[in-house]
Amino acid sequence: MRKNIILSGLILVVIAGCSPTNKQSQDESDIQKIIGQMTLDEKIEMIGGVNDFFIKGNKRLGLPEVKMSDATVGVRDGNPAIAYPATIAYAASWDTALINKVGEAIASEAKSKKISIMLGPGMNIHRAPMCGRNFEYLGEDPFLAGKMATAFIKGMQNKGVVATAKHYAANNQDFSRHLVSSDMDERTLHEIYLPAFKASVQEGNVGAVMSAYNPVNGVYSSQNEYLLTEVLKKEWGFDGFVMSDWVSTYDGVGCAKAGLDIEMPSGAHMNKDSLLPALNDGRLTEEMIDDKIRRILRIYKRFGMFDQTAYFAGNNFDTASARKIALDVARGATTLLRNQDNFLPLKKETIKTIAVIGPNGHPAVTGGGGSSFVTAYQQTSFYEAIKKLAGDQVAVNYERGTKLPRFIEPALYKNSSFYYFQGNEKIVGLKGEYFKNKDLEGAPFTTRTDVMVNFDKPGDVPPGLGIENISARWTGLMKVEKTGTYDFTISGDDGFRLWVNKKQVIDQWYDQPEMFKTVAVDLQKGQDNEIVLEYYQGGGGAAIRLGYELSNTNKNDAIERAVALAAKSDLVVLCVGFDYKTESEGFDRPFNLPEEQELLINLILKANKNVSVLLSSGGNVEMQGWLTQTKALLHTWYPGQEGAVAVAEILFGDVNPSGKLPVSFEKRWEDNATYSSYFDDDKDKRVNYSEGIFVGYRHFDKNNTEPQFPFGFGLSYTTFSYENLKLSNEQINAEDGLTVTFTVKNDGTRDGAEISQLYVSDRESSVPRPVKELKSFNKTFLKAGETKEITMKINKDAFSFYDVATKKWIVEPGDFEILIGSSSRDIRLKAQVKVIE
């Protein structure tokens, strides 16, 4: 518990029972002196005058310009960097020591690029598999997410780089993320959606927190006083600063009053025009503004940023070491979900031919899309890694099996069919009207003729328009030379929609990274067909392209070649899933794999019975139609630049898989706890989390529903047994906590790592509680035949729940059960403990 102690007008944050050190007192005095020298304009400029990824400096006051960057899987500053596996893979590793090293390595590379603040880790809870940013988060369990986030934060901040806990709070879907409110009761909020952030603050001592796009219970996160001030700053004692997510503020005065300290990427709302009137009429006070400055400067002091030369000196980024860490994460996170008759590991001496098939087989798919995507220094595809490790005695061949993505090329316009009339004059191209707002409102800023709608850089748009908060409408006619079905393809970032002959055929009118949408339209030869294309860009960079072609003209025999290769090969490694274009922030992906991949899987399984599937995604997919026909299934998540090497090592047995699921995998979407509470079906811009605290494995346990694969599940090439469970006491006071010991033995002939999991079950409670909840875990490496004793310590938090009446965490005396398992559904050992007053 932290207390705010006011001394001579300064707010000092200290640990309860301790006094501020001389350095802390001096730092606060120095900060107060700077604040006293700042003009009000300078203060407002600092909290709202940032420049995208920079917090502006001030030479007069000796304040440095501070640079920040995305994200949690590497340094994303527009240049190549080490690309680590996706954050969900960190959770799948269950290895806090390793993820601590990841934080250190990313911090070291950040410092080598003069970056002081990293915008991660993300720790929003996985509610449903479709969320576009699940791969950026740490799974469904708040305890696991908190421990992994804390490990990463400590590693990063131990190297002197500020970590940012995001997205606070309840950003659990990416469809309409600016609009849809996450509505839930107070207990659900505190037990499921806040604990990882609380751990980041109280255990990780994180320097910055980023608010989410979405409202929570009807109030935008960036201006939610309950979340930002009452809980984060007062209850948890957070002494760092809160920044908004990019373009996620809506009311400057509301944000300032609620506790937002910095508006990103610029002061669109927290600026002089909005804040000065509020200061003059008393809605805001200068002390509120001072607190924001104090929080920013406190972090500068804590991390030594005032002296930029000294701050960046002595940092030696070791590329080889960082690559090894990225490789180790992929080795430890890749999760073996199916291995029929011990099909894996593969035996090179019995194999002559391997077919690597699928769109994710080559080139490499390293990460999901959006602001976390890192362009790797170098990368290896599954095909390349398998071919290299298989050696010269095994023939490894590759077929994509699906068509290449239909990129919209200027060649499609070589003989443009678009035209419009200006008076009696026929003009080739489309009439483009451009607006300096996102809503196509008012008179156009400018109008021009566009022979091609194909731009993605500032020079493509009309001069003076800009590339943010703009919109455009293109209108015209077109004729085709042949009657038939035509594929219209649009690629856009953000929203776009298309009408053909007054019928709307594409509607993607929401914020999203650049994505493709294709629709088939029947057209008649010689007919004048009306075309209307509308587009808007919110934040980021503008991109919009339009193309069309006669259906089937781009088809090839990709599937036929893949099936033929599979039929003549000893075995198939089938690489499917999503990638940075199809799973990304800004939109939600489908539960099903792309239709073309589903067809490919079924045809390959008919052609060859020895198929191992490599699945790349941020979570589960529909697999009922093909799972039982496969010999093996490896979930690779998004494995980063070194991940294909790790997967190849696992396939051939050089590495024993040890990853376990940080999320429950449902058999059907209908089995998910949020099936009736995920989408905004009634379009009222509110989603009620009606499942309450029963999300993920809590839901499957409560309803006795069998998952496809349970939380905490993952296979190994060896087996482990558990014995000798002992409790430090059979009766405890919750304040004293409990020590649990047991032994784990590697019963097989291969070395391997086991993730043992401790769950606590409340046998009787005054409120509905989960059947069990994860409260500790341990990843242990054991040689073949080796036995180790595992010790886990749990405190009163393991027995408590959030009491809405008192607004506190409480423990009810009574009987609890300690459950030790290899997964949430594979409990090996049990013991009872009585908690007394």
Burial 665-682 (b: 16+ CB within 10 A, else e): bbbebebbbbeebbbbee
In angstroms, rounded to a whole number, what is the distance separating the alpha carbons of residues 654 and 549? 48
Interstrand relation of 219-220 and 215-216 (parallel, antiparallel or unpaired): antiparallel
| DSSP state string for 436-448 | SSTT--SS-SEEE
Using DSSP's 3-state secondary structure scheme, residue 723 falls into: strand
Residue 141 annotated as catalytic: no
Say if CB 660 and CB 823 are below 8 A apart.
yes
Assign 733 to helix, strand or coil. Answer: strand
Block residue for tokens 């055929």: 505
Q: Which string of b and e fits 809-826 if b means at least 16 CB within 10 Å?
A: eebbeeebbbbbbbbbbe
SS3 393: coil
Q: Indicate the helix (H) or strand (E) that contains 225.
A: helix 225-225
Is the backbone peptide bond immediately before 80 cis, with ω within 30 degrees of 0?
no
Out of 245, 261, 701, 762, pick the active-site residue: 245
Neighbours of 484 (CB within 10 A): 15
Pick from 29, 559, 56: nearest CA to 21: 29
Contact between residue 668 and residue 163 where contact means Cβ atoms under 8 Å apart: no
Whether the upstream peptide bond of residue 41 has omega within 30° of 0, thus cis, is no
- In which residue are the tokens 């509680």 written? 769
**372, two tokens:** 């976390």
Query: Which residues neighbour 78 within 8 Å (Cβ) at sequence distance 6 or greater?
Result: none
Burial of 424 (0-12, 13-18, 19+ CB in 10 A): exposed
Angstrom distance (rounded) from CA 470 to CA 437? 5
Within 13 A of 812's CA, how many CA atoms are on the CB side? 15
3 state SS for 311-340? HHCCCCCCHHHHHHHHHHHHHHHCEEEEEH
d(CA 417, CA 480): 7
Residue 710, phi then psi, degrees to nearest 5: -80, 160
Name the pairing type of β-strands 446-450 and 430-435: antiparallel
Q: Provide the annotated active-site residues.
A: 245
